[in-house]
Amino acid sequence: MSGRILIVDDVATNRIVYRARLAAAFYEPVLACDGESGLALALAERPDLILLDIGLPDISGYEVLRRLRGDPRLRDIPVIALTAARDSETRLKAFSAGADDVIVKPASDQVLLARVRNLLRTRAEIVFSDAELQPAGLAEAAATFEPSATVAVVTGQAEVARQLQADLAGQLRDRLVVLSRAQALAEAAAAQGAEVPDVFIIHDEDGDAGSSLRLVSELKSNLATRHSAVCVVGRAAEGEEAAIAFDLGADDVVAPHVTATELALRTRSLLRRKRQGDRTRARIEDNLRLAMIDPLTGLHNRRYAAQALTAIAARAVERGRDLAVMVVDLDRFKVVNDQHGHAAGDAVLAEVARRLRANLREGDLLARIGGEEFLAVLPDSATPEARRVAERLCAALDARPIRLPSGLGLTVTVSIGVAVSALAEGMPLSVDALVEQADLALLESKGAGRNQVTYRKSAA
């Protein structure tokens, strides 16, 4: 793993030591000696992570954190706050200001590097920040309202469960549930997409760090729970076990004597990162979907259709089954736009797509490949079946008028060109030639008066 890490510390010796440690682990260190220069470097270098000393000479580390979290360009960068103070007040102020973790100096190399790996891995899963997924100048503001989340306390000790619930109930507005380890594993085994807790807080039972580590591994390796945040409370937060927990995927590890206030702040921080990841994954999924879907009709687009047709044709060859391709074109569509406007044209296209889809089989492919042109692919279809489907499509369009936004009813017809492979007869298949034959058949339908179907036997 590699990444650019900004070290903000006013003590030159500390900067040199951290730089050596990180460079030895193949990270790229960037150094700053005070808060203002750290903020300037953060903006210029856009580091993947920041190590921030709380006691800076010009402005406090808390102010640096607040300014980082207030800048849309920098707010998603993970920050590990470093402090020599061991009091809980310092930790609480750092978490309240936006730190992702607080580590007391001198930090264990093993634990510090494991935490760095952990936060960088989480950031790497979020490929783009919210701002980067928006066109320039159109970045969304930070969410001002978040729905209630579900926080699961995982323990088999009833007294511990009651205490944790009581401690957190007054500080989190989220729903708190108590699960045994077996129930937590059942959540991990749930089908992907099932509703699972947003955060698991795993409490060591009888100081059994190994059991907690195994549960972390199970939760992070299952599809249903891999994006849930996991926090381990207990012995697993100490020494070598803490480094192992981070490397297994734990999002936080906390010593058993943590205060309720600090645990609540850590939980809120986990929820913030988890929601950020959820938003980004949803955004990426939407973008991928839009790359394959025509937004007007909801059908697949030309790019998707080309790849899907190749795959369908390959399966047809393997099975020796016939394949039908249809090119469907609206008749005189330019007149619709010219006489009734483009809003009417869009309404016509959307309704035509709906009727075509309704009259194809579930396994058939339908795509919009041009302005008013559609492609239908019918696997396992010889000429008789293709004929019945094509004639049904023509009839579905001609049967009743399409209602325009103005309220006017408009009768629309389509011309169809059909090409059918002859694999069952041992003839070769060329996808390009098959589509070309369907196009030629469509031209014949247009030339013969429109609102009809023309067939070609083979693409060979």
What letter represents residue 63's amino acid? E
How many other β-carbons are positioned within 10 Å of the β-carbon of residue 192?
A: 10
Q: How far is CA 137 from the centre of its chain?
A: 22
Q: What are phi and psi of 385, to 5 degrees?
A: -65, -45
From residue 141, give the alpha-carbon distance in Å to each of 49, 73, 134, 144: 22, 11, 11, 8
Q: What are phi and psi of 374, to 5 degrees?
A: -125, 155
Q: Is residue 190 within 8 Å of residue 196, measured between CB atoms?
A: yes
- 391 catalytic? Reply is no
* Structure tokens that stand for 155 in this block: 């323990």
Instruction: Quote the DSSP letter at residue 332.
Output: T
Degrees to nearest 5, angle at CA 355 with 352 and 356: 85
* Structure tokens that stand for 332 in this block: 């005189």
What letter represents residue 255's amino acid? A
Q: What are phi and psi of 33, to 5 degrees?
A: -100, -5
> 213: part of which helix (H) or strand (E)?
helix 209-221
How many other β-carbons are positioned within 10 Å of the β-carbon of residue 373?
A: 17
Instruction: Quote the DSSP letter at residue 153.
Output: E
Sign of the torsion formed by the C-alpha atoms of 311, 315, 320 and 324: negative
Q: How far is it, in rounded angstroms, from Cα 186 to Cα 10?
A: 49
Q: Is residue 146 within 8 Å of residue 275, measured between CB atoms?
A: yes
Q: Is residue 200 within 8 Å of residue 229, measured between CB atoms?
A: yes
* Structure tokens that stand for 58 in this block: 């010009």
Q: Which of 187, 241, 351, 372 is catalytic?
A: 372
Non-local CB neighbours of 240 within 8 Å, separated by 6+ positions: 110
Place of tokens 């013969």: 448
Sign of the torsion formed by the C-alpha atoms of 27, 33, 38 and 40: negative
Non-local CB neighbours of 124 within 8 Å, separated by 6+ positions: 1
Which candidate, 421, 442, 441, places its Cα nearest to that of 379? 421
Q: How far is it, in rounded angstroms, from Cα 427 to Cα 383?
A: 15
> 165: part of which helix (H) or strand (E)?
helix 158-169
Q: Which amino acids are annotated catalytic?
A: 372
